[in-house]
Structure formats: structure tokens, C-alpha cells
Amino acid sequence: MGAAFFYHLTAAPLEATLPMLIAKSRERDWQIEVRGVDVDRMAALDTALWRGHADSFEPHGLAGGPHDADQPVLLTSGNGAANAPTCLMAVHGADVTPEEVVAMERTCILFDGHDEAALAQARSQWKVLTDAGCSAQYWSQDGGRWEKKAEK
């Protein structure tokens, strides 16, 4: 049974945090879906990942291409990634169901700590998932380091 890890981004933006989480997940040989809610925002995130540091590059693709099923990391703007993910990373307020958390090795929910709407969405998601019996951890960037603040 998987767990949901909530990442409260305050010291570094999504574009800096996501490559680190992808690299750690790929070390475990997990297939990853990065799920957003808007095609244009996911295209911008795709561009940011391509422009990242050469030493931290992770092969990935934007959903809708001919090789989606072969992508180790697939950026989507909806449910049902073609790459059969074992890890789901939700960004930009994308929803995650309790059933998905249970089915994955890990679910990561990344949210902007400076955005009140994003905070509210993360709190709501925490409640929905933990009320359904999902294991969850809340991580925050304090002083630039990740610290686990809560676990349920």
C-alpha cells in the first residue's frame, strides 16, 4: 500500500524541487506520472525540465506523443498516464484519489506555500486521503531543508 507525501514548497519553486523528487523516484526504478491540471502549464514545466542542469536531467515526455508508454516520466494534464506509473506526482492542484494512493508505490503532492488557494487545496486533499485511511506525510522546507512535520 502506497502513501501520500505532501511537499509544502516555500524555499524553492516547483521547477527546482520536482527534478530532485524525480531523480529520487527514478533511483527506485519507478515509472512516474507528473499530473497537472492545465496543458499550457504542463508544457511550461516540460520546457523547464528540458532546460535544467545537465547533471540532473531526467528523461521525460509530455503526454500526447507517440512514445508515451515508453516514457519513464510522463507529464500529463489528466488521469490515466500511458506509462503505467508506480509513482504519481500531483502539481498545480491536480486531484488524487485514495484509490490511486493505494495503487501507487508513492504519491507526491507538491504545492506552493505562498499561494493561499494551493494551501487550501492541499489541506482538503490531506483530509480526503487520510479520512479514507491513506497513509500520509507532510514535509516542509524549513531553513532550506526538508523536514517531516506530520504523519498520519
Q: For residues 93 and 37, is the Cβ–Cβ distance under 8 A? A: yes
Instruction: Give pLDDT < 50 ranges for the chain.
Output: none
Report pLDDT for 74: 92
Report pLDDT for 105: 95
In this prediction the pTM is 0.92
Domain range summary for the chain, segments of one domain joined by +: 3-151
Residue 62 and residue 65: Cα distance in Å, rounded? Answer: 7
Q: Which fold has domain 3-151?
A: Rossmann fold (3.40.50)
Strand ranges for the chain from DSSP E: 3-9, 32-35, 61-62, 73-76, 87-90, 106-112, 135-142, 145-151
Phi then psi for residue 69, to 5 deg, are -65, -25
Report pLDDT for 80: 73
